[in-house]
Structure 1
């Protein structure tokens, strides 16, 4: 299966496909945030060999990277003047990651002709900031309006690319997979979403929409998201009918896997040096607002005992109200406050990544300047919060593989 991961983040799609033993190849990624680009590379490909840059100058790398539309925060593009402030080591790592992950960088620069031939699956988890409820609290109300000129409006770049497939006579991806917040189907956004699904139907796809929560797929996190599998039928009514029957008989909204106990995801043995340091790094200064956070949010651990079955949705920030939950700390830890937030390690694991994935990333963190590392707590939490729960994707990809088998059987009977 040839896969293109658009808005790839840290690669939850690739992780899920690997976990289920799928025969797949990620033939391209599309991601402009350098923090996610580097993390994806390390998590999925391991340490980098930067020996090829031995005779490359900083100026040469700046010229090379400035060709791309890349971002340092996932919001605004980096200009050449910004890149000049980056150390050579960071520039090398970013360039290497772009190459090794076959990253086409910004979706605004990607055209169908740039994508490999015969793509089986295109995933597109476009930014949710302008669709989410928290986004509306901050005045982000345009959602996926065509004229919004915002991050969530990147959906229409996917539309452009799919249209280009037809315009140049290139075979469209056999499957599309969308993920976003459930608010995409709210009263405010439903007309835009319906326009999108109608477009896909006109392009020869059948759509199956699910609202799926991580806690039904073995992860103790209350995190519901909207997923849409689009299957290309190109007018083959027999195949289309079989796909409809398959989805009717295999509705993932009925799945309820037994969740693992929350204690398996929390790292509260503070005799382990790494866990103790991470706990202290996730301890806020004690202010009136932080006192409110402590009182008002679920106590996940109290008196060193896990007292909840689930955490709330992991978002891009833990230092907010409401958050995923707080953990009471023993007095012996001598922390700034009597509680802490989830650590980035715990957040990664509660998104379905292995502890070794997180450890690989930490082992390959580097000093960005004299005073700070490339990844601090806030960046790591953001990477986790922007990701997709791997376990949910595993069941979705199992369905896609099953439908692919149906597709191949029908292909023997008639050309799809």
Structure 2
């Protein structure tokens, strides 16, 4: 890897999960640019990456604002219109849905190409509903939009689950498009991380989740049963209201307040710090945001160890 480092353009940046994961993969980011609209996410991002250049909302980002050619463009465009939990309105270009902001990313890359600047890697994350929405036509439109940019010879994708790394069931699609003439897999499939192979790690993380907070006893016999919601007893996620002791936590979202039940009488919601751990962030990553916003930031975040693994693989297989 060149000592000078790489340039990152982090769109829909949230709390900085992509940036954090890239750094943990051992890739030096010499300069970065980011776009976000949530003021609390912006503050958290600036706190941890103070030298990063803020570009404003995605609609305000232009190639002229990006002074150096990005090597990597990462983005997790809004999923509300694709998610099973949402209204599944879709993301057709010009539809006005939040998920249609994907085409703002395409616009930015087109502007870079017009200036003869070519990012090496496009990587995005979204809910697994992206693949099945509208009988697969939406995902086809996404692939076609990236292919029509004309510079990405090869694209690959995989459905990854955070539970392979941490005790949270969180399935997300990761899609990578690569610059250059070489075809062939450069990242996926991510192998050697099945739940079967990670049982020991998962158990250890579950114990850390329920004992380091100070709210629960350190007894190894203490039950920590994930429940879908501490507020709505009839609330379900993936058809379940609660799980078995030691199971992975439900998928953390920006609105739900998942909790833990001791099997008897104590029910409490997860703490913000526990949510950070379940997403692979350091403790207190969002400490300076209001508590309600800390839950939202983690619910919208990308899981750091998943990103780390992706970029470790990319670094091994691509000449950077």
**Fold shared per TM-score above 0.5:** yes
Matched, 1:222 2:173: no
Quick one: which of 135, 147, 160 aligns to 2:86?
Answer: 135
In 1, distance between residues paired with 2:103 and 2:186? 29
* Match in the other structure for 1:3: 8
Matched, 1:349 2:277: yes
Q: How many residues align?
A: 292
Matched, 1:200 2:146: yes
Superposition deviation, residue 171 in structure 1 = 1.2
Superposition deviation, residue 187 in structure 1 = 4.1
Task: Decide which structure has greater strand share.
Answer: 2
In 2, distance between residues paired with 1:14 and 1:245? 23
* Match in the other structure for 2:214: 269
Cα contact 2:259–2:267 (8 A) shared by 1: no
Quick one: which of 132, 141, 160 aligns to 1:212?
Answer: 160
Matched, 1:23 2:28: yes
Superposition deviation, residue 42 in structure 1 = 2.4
In 2, distance between residues paired with 1:8 and 1:246? 24
In 2, distance between residues paired with 1:6 and 1:196? 17
For residue 210 of structure 1, give the secondary structure of its aligned residue in structure 2.
strand
In 1, distance between residues paired with 2:136 and 2:56? 29
Cα contact 1:222–1:311 (8 A) shared by 2: yes
CA change 1:298–1:108 in 2 (3 A) is: same
In 2, distance between residues paired with 1:291 and 1:330? 15
Superposition deviation, residue 26 in structure 1 = 4.2
Cα contact 1:128–1:180 (8 A) shared by 2: yes
Where structure 2 has 5 or more consecutive residues not aligned to the other structure, the ranges are 1-5, 218-228
Superposition deviation, residue 268 in structure 1 = 4.8
In 2, distance between residues paired with 1:11 and 1:122? 13
CA change 1:22–1:309 in 2 (3 A) is: same
CA change 1:189–1:315 in 2 (3 A) is: farther
Quick one: which of 251, 254, 262 aligns to 1:328?
Answer: 262
CA change 1:215–1:26 in 2 (3 A) is: farther
Cα contact 1:4–1:28 (8 A) shared by 2: yes
* Match in the other structure for 1:385: 299
Superposition deviation, residue 166 in structure 1 = 2.5
Quick one: which of 113, 119, 131 aligns to 1:173?
Answer: 119
In 2, distance between residues paired with 1:111 and 1:224? 32
Cα contact 1:328–1:340 (8 A) shared by 2: no
Root-mean-square deviation (CA, aligned residues, Å) is: 2.6
Superposition deviation, residue 318 in structure 1 = 2.9
In 2, distance between residues paired with 1:129 and 1:189? 17
Superposition deviation, residue 13 in structure 1 = 1.2
Cα contact 2:69–2:117 (8 A) shared by 1: yes
Quick one: which of 95, 116, 130 aligns to 1:148?
Answer: 95
Superposition deviation, residue 191 in structure 1 = 1.8
Where structure 1 has 5 or more consecutive residues not aligned to the other structure, the ranges are 46-99, 273-283, 301-306, 332-337, 366-373, 409-416
Task: Decide which structure has greater helix share.
Answer: 1
Matched, 1:111 2:62: yes
* Match in the other structure for 1:397: 311
In 1, distance between residues paired with 2:25 and 2:135? 34
Q: Deviations over 1:372-399 (max 9, x none)?
A: xx613x2111100000111110111112
In 2, distance between residues paired with 1:121 and 1:114? 16
In 2, distance between residues paired with 1:37 and 1:326? 30
* Match in the other structure for 1:190: 136
Superposition deviation, residue 200 in structure 1 = 2.0
* Match in the other structure for 1:375: 290
Matched, 1:163 2:110: yes
* Match in the other structure for 1:298: 242
